[in-house]
Amino acid sequence: MSLKAFHIIFVTISTLFCVFFGTWSLDQYRTVDPSGMNLLYIIGSFAGLIVLPVYGWYFLKKLKHVSFL
């Protein structure tokens, strides 16, 4: 597996982690503990949800001449 393929897989998994962690933190904020830390986790997760796909697209655009093998 090339570094490019690993990078794309890692960015995809990290984006999915941001979705699940942000959703879980939102649920915790609503039902269990409406603290500032949960709100910070929600904001950070959804910021990662926006930034990571943009970074992945930039990375693919930059290395489009490199193969996935």
| Sequence ranges of the domains in the chain | 3-62
pLDDT tens for the chain, 69 residues: list them.
Answer: 788 889 999 999 999 999 999 999 999 999 988 888 999 999 999 999 999 999 999 998 988 888 776
Q: Please report the pLDDT score of residue 35 as a whole number.
A: 86
Collect all residues with Cβ–Cβ distance below 8 Å to 2 and sequence separation of at least 6: 66, 67, 68, 69
Q: Please report the pLDDT score of residue 69 as a whole number.
A: 65
Q: For the residues of 4-41, what is the DSSP string, one character each?
A: HHHHHHHHHHHHHHHHHHHHHHHHHHHHT---HHHHHH
Residue 65 vs residues 5, 16, 51, 61: alpha-carbon distances, Å: 13, 27, 23, 9
